[in-house]
Structure 1
């Protein structure tokens, strides 16, 4: 049954040409690869997208680096049926001394970051215009305003970047952030974006698997009810399969937990017609600390060797 805001959502979806569908966050870095250093090859990305193409219609990419350029090239050359939300990665423009894993920079570095951010926005616009039939929406940044971020950007700067994008590209523009800042800090941004993008992670907020789906819905509706004039998309929601106990209790994560949450999430998203990007396609060993059980490394529905975890193994078996 569609959610209580469905009629409005359908109107905004039609206006923005954004249709509900299965969506996933994709970053294809494998063992020995990492952003800004070693990137996946054309053939590696092609392999990934062929794995994903039968299950998902939408991909979310985080920045405008070489990885995203190759992804767009593969989609175009191989004639793959994906629509992409492309983001710009914006770095710190102000210090965030409360971030436990770093958020302090020299004034010189902050100025360098501002120049780099403007260049990222310009590149985002360029790619949007180069691939108008593939890129369906654009994001001015990712988790840059939440209190714990290590790349803090003032809301005023984000607003300026949104305006730059809207001036230079035709696709709808958003900003991807945890649900909580949208309830207060980002109110001035709401009227600037074409739609709101939220992140919801019950496992990071100490919810067990039995509480998880209701909490996700609470997060979504807290924003959707506050701004009934705006389409709300979930651009990250998922469940990690390992934890070293730092931030996430190790007993609260497993492939079985991921299977439950994924199925609950996708059932609700399809039933209520909420565009939801599952986080994420593949495990990424470069993320987080060197600890092999670092939670950040294990959110994928597929392992780093591209073998399916439980949820996808079951899905693949049922489709045979």
Structure 2
């Protein structure tokens, strides 16, 4: 589906799978940000950030807020993406218990100083609360999930609006603002939207809509704000309009999805990172996702696009290489991901989307972290 304001064709390298399962959003009403000591701004009767008479304008002058990758002399750039749902659980369905989340976070604290969450709806607040309760040294990039609010045909004509998604997005924005204010010692940045612009994404949204959500979040917090997308969007000239609205670039670079063999994976990742830095020299670039899966199905698009061998030995090698490069160069990298998530992808047990974790879904370690566990 082509969306006006988004990128054009692929221009060479293929990106991550078009079959990546959309995350289900929870239509939960969350309290607004009023009364939480946030920067002043216009609010409506529900406590939402508004500008009477039209869209919120861009902040002028726009002062870039730095992404914090060091704290009290410690390096926070060894980071990971965390999805808490176990077997039999999924977003919008059964959720993990507080004790299951506690177990997860104790595991995470052994390896990573920062995690990335993809949304502000439950169980995100439980995750933040357990980090505080346990006194864990874990910082959080907090996600604000944005779902497409409109549908367009291939000719660029509007074919439908989804007011329930627009309402859910506003609730997500309010929730992210509220949680960032409630957990200031834990939340260090906010990420508004996930893969909303790259051409193959099922979450593709109108650029102007995403920008308005970013501006509303940024107006109500002093934290750095970003949005996450694939390198094959950030490497295009049209990405500059979005880049100027955020404080740092959150870029995905998956060598496995881009047809790389293991021996070429780190070199490709480095070159891709350098390409995005060159495209956006006035913004810091954070690798918000990179990883290596341990299984894939031998049918469908993953069989066609993925050329490298999947497995625990391969994952361990890539994890070691990218972690060493990240620390050596001072580049924040979020490993995708901590745990396998079996709710993702198709029904086949080897479906690649289920097998990116360095821990299995039952929380036993794979070879990549076995020596650290």
TM above 0.5, one fold? yes
Q: Secondary structure at the match of 1:186?
A: helix
Residue 16 of structure 1, CA deviation: 4.2
Residue 150 of structure 1, CA deviation: 1.1
Q: Secondary structure at the match of 2:256?
A: helix
Report the CA distance shift for 1:17/1:255 in structure 2 as closer, same or farther (over 3 A).
closer
Query: Once superposed, what is the RMSD of the aligned Cα atoms?
Result: 2.0
- Unaligned regions of 5+ residues in structure 2, if any? 1-62
Residue 95 of structure 1, CA deviation: 3.2
Match of 1:34 in 2: 90
Match of 1:254 in 2: 311
Residues 64 and 247, structure 2, Cα contact 8 Å, conserved in 1: no
Matched positions, count = 298
The answer to whether 1:138 aligns with 2:195 is: no
Deviates more, 1:115-124 or 1:89-98: 89-98
Alignment of 1:189-228 (within 5 A): 189-228=242-281
Report the CA distance shift for 1:64/1:43 in structure 2 as closer, same or farther (over 3 A).
same
Give 1:295's match in structure 2, choosing from 341, 348, 352. 352
Tell me how far apart the structure 1 counterparts of residues 166 and 122 of structure 2 sit (CA, whole Å): 20
Match of 1:148 in 2: 200
4+ runs of 1 displaced by more than 4 Å?
12-16, 248-251
Structure with the bigger percentage of helix: 1
Q: In terms of Rg, which structure is larger?
A: 2
Tell me how far apart the structure 1 counterparts of residues 325 and 197 of structure 2 sit (CA, whole Å): 28
Deviation per residue, 1:39-76 (Å, 9 max, x gap):
11110010011111121100100001212111001011
Tell me how far apart the structure 2 counterparts of residues 211 and 118 of structure 1 sit (CA, whole Å): 42
Alignment of 1:49-198 (within 5 A): 49-95=105-151, 107-108=160-161, 110-184=162-236, 185-198=238-251
Tell me how far apart the structure 2 counterparts of residues 251 and 165 of structure 1 sit (CA, whole Å): 39
Report the CA distance shift for 1:305/1:284 in structure 2 as closer, same or farther (over 3 A).
same
**Normalising to structure 2: TM-score of the pair?**
0.76
Residues 242 and 295, structure 1, Cα contact 8 Å, conserved in 2: yes
Tell me how far apart the structure 2 counterparts of residues 182 and 14 of structure 1 sit (CA, whole Å): 19
The answer to whether 1:18 aligns with 2:75 is: no
Residue 146 of structure 1, CA deviation: 1.0
Tell me how far apart the structure 2 counterparts of residues 136 and 129 of structure 1 sit (CA, whole Å): 10
**Normalising to structure 1: TM-score of the pair?**
0.88
Deviates more, 1:176-185 or 1:137-146: 176-185
